[in-house]
Structure 1
Amino acid sequence: MHSVAVFCGSNFGVSPAYAEGAAALGRAMAGRGLRLVYGGTSKGLMGVVADAVLDAGGEVTGVINERLHARGHLHPRLSAHEVAATLSQRKMRMAALADAFIALPGGLGTFEELFEAATLTQLGEHTKACGVLNLRGYFEPLRAMLDHAVAEGFMKAEHRDMVVIESDPQRLLDALAAWQAPSVTKWIGQPGA
Structure 2
Amino acid sequence: MGIQTYSKGLLIVLSGPSGAGKGTVCSALRQQAPELVYSVSATTRQPREGEVEGINYFFKSKEEFRRMIDEGELLEWAQYVDNYYGTPRRFVEDRLEEGKNVLLEIEVQGARQVKERFPEGVFIFLLPPSMKELRARIQGRGTETEDAVQNRMMAASDELEQVHQYDYVVVNDEVAKACHQIRSIMVAERCRRERLFKENPDWLEGF
TM-score by length of 2: 0.44
Higher relative contact order (CA 8 A, sep 6+): 2
Q: Which has the larger Rg?
A: 2
TM-score norm. by structure 1 comes to 0.46
